[in-house]
C-alpha cells in the first residue's frame, strides 16, 4: 500500500511546484517542469530497466529475458500499466511467477497523469477556482470509477490509470488547500496508525475501494502535521526520502531474485 501513499504525496508535491511556477510563461512553465521530470526519472529508470533485462537473460534464460525485454519497452515508454492490464496479470496471484518489471506500472500511471496535469493546471488556473473545481471532479470521478470497476473487473482495475488518478487528485487538492497544522503528537499518531492499518490489510484489489480511503486520510493527516516532525527530519528519513525512487525501482528485482 506504499504506492497509494506515494501517489498522494506525489500529487501534493508536484502541484505545489506547479503553483509556484505559475508566474512563468506557458512555454517556460512546461519546459522547466518536464526538464526536471526527465532529469530525475529517465536516466535512472532506463538504466535499471537495461540492467534488469540483461540480468534476467543471463540468470533466468533467453525466454524470460525476452519477456523482460518486451516488458522493458513498455516500462520505458511509461505505459507498463496498460501493457500488464492487457495481459490481465494478477498482481497478487499467489504461487505464480510475476514479471520482474511489473512494479513499473505505478511509475507509468504517475507519468501519464503528469503528461496532462501541468497544461490543464496552467490553463485552468487563469480562472478563479478553475483548477480546484476540475481537480475535485477528477478525484471524485476517478474514485467512483474505481468502485464500479472493482465489482466488474477487479484484476485489471489495479493497473488502471482512471481508477488511480483520484489518489493523485487528493494530493493536488491538499496542495490547493494550503492547510498545515504542525503537531508532533498528531503527526506521530498519523504515521503509526498508517503503519498499523496498512499491515492489517490483505493484498487484495478490493483495497481500491472504501478501505483505501482510511489510508489516504491518514496520509493526508501525516502530511498536514509533518512540519517540524523530528523523526521525519532525521538524517535516516531524509536519506530514505531522497533515495525512495531508486529503492522502489530496485526492490522488486531484489525480492524476487
What per-residue confidence (pLDDT) applies to 205?
47
Question: Three-state SS for 194?
Answer: helix
Inter-residue contact 111 to 148 (CB < 8 Å): no
CA 107 to chain centre: 6
The grid cell for 9 is: 504525496
What per-residue confidence (pLDDT) applies to 99?
86
What per-residue confidence (pLDDT) applies to 203?
52
CA 168 to CA 190: how far, in whole Å? 19
Inter-residue contact 245 to 40 (CB < 8 Å): yes
The grid cell for 108 is: 507509468
CA 165 to CA 81: how far, in whole Å? 13
What per-residue confidence (pLDDT) applies to 202?
59
What per-residue confidence (pLDDT) applies to 165?
93
Inter-residue contact 33 to 17 (CB < 8 Å): yes
pLDDT by residue for the chain (257 residues), tens only, comes to: 678 888 999 999 999 999 999 889 989 999 999 999 999 899 999 999 999 999 999 988 988 899 999 999 999 999 999 998 888 666 555 455 678 899 899 999 999 999 999 999 998 888 878 899 999 999 999 999 988 888 777 667 888 899 999 999 999 999 998 887 777 777 777 788 877 877 776 555 456 667 788 888 888 888 888 776 777 777 887 888 788 888 888 877 776 65
Burial class (CB in 10 A: 0-12, 13-18, 19+), 142: buried
Inter-residue contact 171 to 12 (CB < 8 Å): yes
State the pTM of this model.
0.88
What per-residue confidence (pLDDT) applies to 5?
87
Query: What sections of 2-124 are H helices per DSSP?
Result: 2-20, 26-60, 62-76, 80-86, 104-124
CA 211 to CA 1: how far, in whole Å? 11
Inter-residue contact 195 to 5 (CB < 8 Å): no
Inter-residue contact 159 to 84 (CB < 8 Å): yes
CB atoms within 10 A of CB 107: 20
Residues with Cβ within 8 Å of 149's Cβ and at least 6 positions away in sequence, in order, are 156, 157, 160, 162, 163
Amino acid at each position: 500500500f506504499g504506492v497509494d501513499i506515494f501517489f498522494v504525496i506525489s500529487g501534493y508535491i508536484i502541484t505545489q511546484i506547479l503553483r509556484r511556477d505559475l508566474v512563468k510563461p506557458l512555454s517556460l512553465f512546461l519546459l522547466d517542469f518536464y526538464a526536471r521530470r526527465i532529469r530525475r526519472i529517465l536516466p535512472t529508470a532506463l538504466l535499471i530497466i537495461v540492467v534488469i533485462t540483461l540480468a534476467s537473460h543471463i540468470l533466468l534464460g533467453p525466454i524470460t529475458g525476452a519477456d523482460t525485454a518486451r516488458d522493458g519497452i513498455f516500462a520505458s515508454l511509461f505505459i507498463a500499466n496498460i501493457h500488464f492490464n492487457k495481459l490481465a496479470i494478477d498482481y497478487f496471484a499467489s504461487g505464480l511467477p510475476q514479471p520482474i518489471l511489473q512494479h513499473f506500472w505505478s511509475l507509468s500511471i504517475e507519468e501519464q497523469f503528469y503528461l496532462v496535469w501541468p497544461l490543464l493546471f496552467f490553463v485552468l488556473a487563469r480562472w478563479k477556482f478553475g483548477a480546484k473545481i476540475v481537480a475535485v471532479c477528477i478525484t471524485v470521478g476517478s474514485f467512483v470509477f474505481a468502485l464500479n470497476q472493482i465489482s466488474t473487473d477487479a484484476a485489471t482495475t489495479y493497473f488502471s490509470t482512471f481508477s488511480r488518478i483520484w489518489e493523485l487528485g487528493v494530493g493536488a487538492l491538499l496542495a490547493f488547500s494550503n492547510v498545515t497544522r504542525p503537531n508532533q503528537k498528531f503527526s506521530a499518531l498519523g504515521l503509526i496508525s498508517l503503519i498499523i492499518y496498512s499491515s492489517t490489510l490483505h493484498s487484495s484489489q478490493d483495497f481500491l475501494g472504501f478501505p483505501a480511503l482510511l489510508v489516504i486520510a491518514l496520509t493526508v493527516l501525516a502530511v498536514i502535521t509533518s512540519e517540524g516532525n523530528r523523526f521525519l527530519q532525521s538524517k535516516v528519513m531524509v536519506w530514505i526520502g531522497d533515495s525512495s525512487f531508486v529503492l522502489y525501482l530496485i526492490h522488486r528485482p531484489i525480492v524476487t531474485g
